[in-house]
Chain A
Amino acid sequence: MAEVALRGVSKSYGNVDVIHDVSLDVGQGEFVVFVGPSGCGKSTLMRMIAGLEEVTRGDVLIGGERVNDTAARDRGVAMVFQNYALYPHMSVRDNMAFGLRNIGTPRPEIDSRIAKAAEILQLDRYLDRKPRAMSGGQRQRVAIGRAIVREPKVFLFDEPLSNLDANLRVQMRTEIARLHHRLDATMIYVTHDQTEAMTMADRIVVLRAGVIEQVGAPLDLYERPANMFVAGFLGAPKINFIKGRVAASQGNEILVELAGGTRLSALVRPGTANPGDAVTLGLRPEMLQIALDGPLPGRVEVVEQLGAVQLVYATLADGTTMVAELRDRRPPAVGADVRFALGPGIRHVFDARELSITLPEGDHQ
């Protein structure tokens, strides 16, 4: 077990920076999720930690030691790949034993570690099967088992669940989380799926275009996104962004005027917004309600009935599409003109540079 640290790490191909000056500390036993859209560099960053990609600038430290020049095999990390990367010609047992044999682990030791891993992952009955004869979920478990038996300092997961169907993904999500508690190992996990990030992470690292946008605990990021990108990336259905202009400000409170004349109040950090400034309001779908006297008029376009909740998509006066998550079994009809009211919840405000100027919750008067 060990901590991982990145110090000003960059990766370039020619003149193109794929990773730009990334610094990050992952504590021992921590579960950190790298999340971001495809092409953001999250996999590259993980592969640099693994030693599968060279570091152009900066240092990668594992357990306090600089490993830039250490070969992948000597870094003491284990990785679970998106396509499992199981050796197709070997049985499950041989897949797990391969790494241990390569470092000359004594046979009884190998056997006992495999037995232990197989028990944890419920693979006991499949040890002599070839990967080909197994389901996607089972193969995924074998890939994890192959990592476990190595007893690595750090576990790396590269989008391990994206090849599984929806049900299995949910199941494996909890299994990996449970595994993390049981092994108390340092784990770094890459995904493009914000749900996985939200549900599994101790801390989330949001990446965009090779740069860390924000790092923090899931709920922190959800409630206090540093910018519109983070706010938009986390949460489903997606947060609603509504453009407006500061009509008046007094202390922490501002009044935002939206297209169509609607005015909504919000709390911002002192001195961040002056009347006339263009701002964007961020309203989570779950804080929207339908009320006769609501301030926000809209026309219902689509209603998605999910049983417990209903997603109502509506168009506002300026053509912005907004989604509200309602808990009302009788949602409005398509085409109906309705008014939305704002329930309790944070009204996020972003300035013209898309940075959050929302007043942090603790500072509410």
Chain B
Amino acid sequence: MTAARTGWALWGDRLLLAITIIVAALWLLPVIWVVTMSLKPNAELMRSTWGFIPYPFTIENYTNLIQLATVPRWLVNSLIVAIGMTLLVLTVSSLAGYAFARLQFPFKRTIFALMIAGLMIPEQAVFLPLHQMFADWGIHNTHAALVMPRVAVPIGVFLMMQFFRAVPRELEEAAELDHASRFTIFFRIMLPLSVPALTTLGLFTFIHAWNDFLWPLVSATDADMYTVTVGLASIQGNFAMSEGLGSVMASAVFASLPIVLLFLIFQRFIVAGVAMSAGK
């Protein structure tokens, strides 16, 4: 729609844009409001929660939060889990994705079909048996227990396979004639080339891990092992009457900071990833 518009059409465009801006502002309003509350004294919030300018202003809610140490502890848990999960998913997915894209092995089609079938197994179908298995192994309330169930994601393998398939075959053939072994080809040629795909998959995995709720809720029962997502839920129950409304809001903001920063830095990869996964 690059053609120049004139008259009514131009005004239509402008009106549409204006409406879009207003909707976007309203969309963002709750976030701004929460940040505002987190920067107001609790006493002020008892009087009124209305307003979008943090006045009277205080960072007390945040300093309390850090001194309390539970929320930072959860944050560290979340970071360990999310980073660990991301690295594992990237490793497992890129290795298997490459095998499906470019290696020959017996029963390839069958194994591939089985993997695709795995796409249809939802978390809810396996979280109870997993809980029983992990209880048997005695590994609940560890970081490993929070990470492991999320490593077996066929979608990651599928995305990496799609990416590797798009790499010109001649590149690998050239490398083969250059005396490169399969491993050299993979680590020196294919992996460096797949940095954008890895970034995208990594971002989605990280966000997913960070926001995971059901599994950490049932696996991490020890408050020290909570992730921020579960931890926040535990202090959220009676906030409406809470006198520490500002603190609750501060912990929500605090818990969201890493993920929002990540989003703002890498958003173009997210868009690219959506385009990639939508492209069949």
Residues of A within 8 A of B (CB): 50, 52, 71-74, 77-79, 81-83, 85-89, 98-99, 102-103, 146, 150
What are the residues of chain B within 8 A of A50 when measuring CB–CB?
173, 177
Are B175 and A98 interface neighbours, CB within 8 A?
yes
Complex CA–CA separation, A102 to B180 (angstroms) = 6
Complex CA–CA separation, A86 to B170 (angstroms) = 9
Are B170 and A85 interface neighbours, CB within 8 A?
yes
Beta-carbon nearest neighbor of A77 in chain B:
B177
Beta-carbon nearest neighbor of B184 in chain A:
A102
Complex CA–CA separation, A102 to B188 (angstroms) = 11
What are the residues of chain A within 8 A of B176 when measuring CB–CB?
52, 71-73
Chain B: how many interface residues by the 8 Å CB criterion? 17
For residue B168, CB closer than 8 A to chain A, the reply is yes
What are the residues of chain B within 8 A of A78 when measuring CB–CB?
177
Q: Could you jot down 7 A-B contacts, CB within 8 Å?
A: A73-B177, A81-B170, A83-B168, A86-B174, A102-B178, A102-B179, A146-B178
Complex CA–CA separation, A363 to B176 (angstroms) = 51
What are the residues of chain A within 8 A of B180 when measuring CB–CB?
73, 98-99, 102
Q: Encode B97-119 as 1/0 by CB contact (under 8 A) with A.
A: 00000000000000000000000
Q: Which of A72, A99, A146, A150 sits near B173, CB closer than 8 Å?
A: A72
Beyond A79-B177, A81-B173, A102-B178, list 8 extra A-B contacts (CB 8 Å).
A73-B177, A87-B174, A87-B175, A89-B192, A102-B179, A102-B180, A102-B181, A103-B179
For residue B53, CB closer than 8 A to chain A, the reply is no
For residue B189, CB closer than 8 A to chain A, the reply is yes
Are B188 and A98 interface neighbours, CB within 8 A?
yes
A-B CB proximity, top 4 nearest: A99-B178, A85-B170, A102-B179, A85-B174
What are the residues of chain A within 8 A of B171 when measuring CB–CB?
85, 87
- With both chains docked as a complex, state the minimum distance between the C-beta of A97 and any C-beta of chain B, in angstroms: 10
Complex CA–CA separation, A21 to B45 (angstroms) = 89
Beta-carbon nearest neighbor of B167 in chain A:
A88
What are the residues of chain B within 8 A of A81 when measuring CB–CB?
170, 173-174
Are A79 and B179 interface neighbours, CB within 8 A?
no
For residue B29, CB closer than 8 A to chain A, the reply is no
What are the residues of chain A within 8 A of B168 when measuring CB–CB?
83, 85
For residue B121, CB closer than 8 A to chain A, the reply is no
Are B179 and A99 interface neighbours, CB within 8 A?
yes
For residue B193, CB closer than 8 A to chain A, the reply is yes
Are A83 and B170 interface neighbours, CB within 8 A?
yes
What are the residues of chain B within 8 A of A89 when measuring CB–CB?
192-193
Q: Encode B19-47 as 1/0 by CB contact (under 8 A) with A.
A: 00000000000000000000000000000
Q: Which of A87, A88, A99 sits near B177, CB closer than 8 Å?
A: A99
- With both chains docked as a complex, state the minimum distance between the C-beta of B167 and any C-beta of chain A, in angstroms: 10
What are the residues of chain A within 8 A of B170 when measuring CB–CB?
81-83, 85
- With both chains docked as a complex, state the minimum distance between the C-beta of A136 and any C-beta of chain B, in angstroms: 16
Within 8 A of A (CB), among B169-218: 170-171, 173-181, 184, 188-189, 192-193
Complex CA–CA separation, A199 to B189 (angstroms) = 36
Beta-carbon nearest neighbor of A94 in chain B:
B188
Beta-carbon nearest neighbor of B170 in chain A:
A85
Beta-carbon nearest neighbor of A75 in chain B:
B177
- With both chains docked as a complex, state the minimum distance between the C-beta of B185 and any C-beta of chain A, in angstroms: 10
Are B174 and A79 interface neighbours, CB within 8 A?
yes
Complex CA–CA separation, A50 to B179 (angstroms) = 12
- With both chains docked as a complex, state the minimum distance between the C-beta of A86 and any C-beta of chain B, in angstroms: 8
What are the residues of chain B within 8 A of A102 when measuring CB–CB?
178-181, 184
Q: Which of A74, A82, A88 sits near B193, CB closer than 8 Å?
A: A88
- With both chains docked as a complex, state the minimum distance between the C-beta of B199 and any C-beta of chain A, in angstroms: 14
What are the residues of chain A within 8 A of B179 when measuring CB–CB?
73-74, 99, 102-103
What are the residues of chain B within 8 A of A88 when measuring CB–CB?
193
Beta-carbon nearest neighbor of B173 in chain A:
A52
Are B173 and A79 interface neighbours, CB within 8 A?
yes
What are the residues of chain A within 8 A of B188 when measuring CB–CB?
98
- With both chains docked as a complex, state the minimum distance between the C-beta of A306 and any C-beta of chain B, in angstroms: 36
- With both chains docked as a complex, state the minimum distance between the C-beta of B181 and any C-beta of chain A, in angstroms: 8
User: Known contacts A85-B171, A102-B184: does B178 contact A150 (CB below 8 Å)?
Assistant: yes
Complex CA–CA separation, A150 to B174 (angstroms) = 12
Complex CA–CA separation, A208 to B181 (angstroms) = 35
Beta-carbon nearest neighbor of A71 in chain B:
B176
What are the residues of chain A within 8 A of B184 when measuring CB–CB?
102
Are A85 and B178 interface neighbours, CB within 8 A?
no
Complex CA–CA separation, A150 to B177 (angstroms) = 10
- With both chains docked as a complex, state the minimum distance between the C-beta of A133 and any C-beta of chain B, in angstroms: 17
Complex CA–CA separation, A81 to B181 (angstroms) = 19
Which of B168, B177, B181, B192 gathers most chain A CB within 10 Å? B177
- With both chains docked as a complex, state the minimum distance between the C-beta of A127 and any C-beta of chain B, in angstroms: 18
What are the residues of chain A within 8 A of B175 when measuring CB–CB?
87, 98
Complex CA–CA separation, A73 to B173 (angstroms) = 9
